[in-house]
Structure 1
């Protein structure tokens, strides 16, 4: 690595793991005598992530508007559509991720760690052990927050035993109770009344592409469905609007993070979507698309993404 500033960033529409991983890995590299590392973000933070940074005393990372000519390290994603503007023209130094392998390309070989873990922050946490770097309380708080957020309090099927062991260790260092802190954090992210339908859909929205065909999946956490289901027509109308902007289908997972159930809103071919999930479709005031109830579904990556990617074939 040369002496130019290195920007570490996660995906667009950043979530807690994306932001925390950027901060944590920047700290790790600084401890390993890389003094020119800057955590960055590609968009506005959601309420949950703001809560986490305030709780542990961290400032919001800088906004990276264009990656052209910059030294960058990518965390928590490896797909062009959800990465920095002009990332193809950046000098990508490294990638750390826990999602499917996408389409980010590099000219030269780079370190690329991709592991099926509950959160990218969990992968980074392992490096502290490898290099015997102590984990300060504030960094442990960020690591724990990222893991609890991405695994929905360790309930998601993406969680592996190693993540649970790590979470307990980090909770001891951070001096918090996993359940009490985790619930407070998730509740901070469940503000559905003060956001437009556009903000709810795009706040954590990921695009998947094969050639010219695209599908998009957003997810919004809630505690109880009563408030948000009063807005189901508005949400479906907005989802249809984005589907007509060059998407084969768009989806929104409305997930109760305590009960671990999901209502899946969708805009696209109803017959094809129904065949993917084998569930009854609830229609809303004659609109195209609809809503499917998915009990005990919380993970986009593990439980919904594999099905919707069938639409790309």
Structure 2
């Protein structure tokens, strides 16, 4: 099926321009409009049902744009979005894949909640400039048609590193997520700020991992190799990373909470049921989804809509104190 993205690529214009041309919007020149329509005809483009009826009515659908729909994390956020959207009379559509944002551009959905870092800044700007209403959960983005509903990463990371630095230790290791991950970047910024303003000496090493169960295994191997016999702190910026590391540490005979004080971030189910339970940063993923949908509804109905921060709370458990 030919999309407006395909037309834009062949015509050498933006998706916004294609949308304008197909809807006879005077914001672009007659020459450009004719060129785009010619390309559309050559590609045998046929607008979908939502696009054909967009002028007559709204679709009453919200698009949730995610890179991967897997795990409890996305499931709980999605549940919150569905719940709040349904209360407002909107259906929720999960949009994934390379051309996912076409559903926003062509009017298949009325607004979007963005959790896909593969959607670029330029793509977001084109959609926003075309009047598409969006809420972002994974980046900073400032536009009159976009609002941010972000996790308070900096508060959570600040509380955790301050907690860990109260313990005497030979070294503190920080295990991040992918370098392009927004949440990981924000958590690391907060940690670095605390360390810079804390009394020395602090021996801190930053290791790169992934927000997956096996995403910190290389870091764990390095930590065990460098261990001198004195307790060390390990702050993995995701519970999944921390739980995978905890298993490897224990397989090699290390005592969690004593020799290695281990902490994560997310308070997912795994963190509560490992032994010892994982010290972590708690927040409600369902409430995050609720808030994202609430803000989008306000934005789409021209009501007052503000940026929002989802609160975080430090959860102290036995993995950082084995007394």
TM-score, length of structure 1 as denominator length: 0.26
Higher relative contact order (CA 8 A, sep 6+): 2
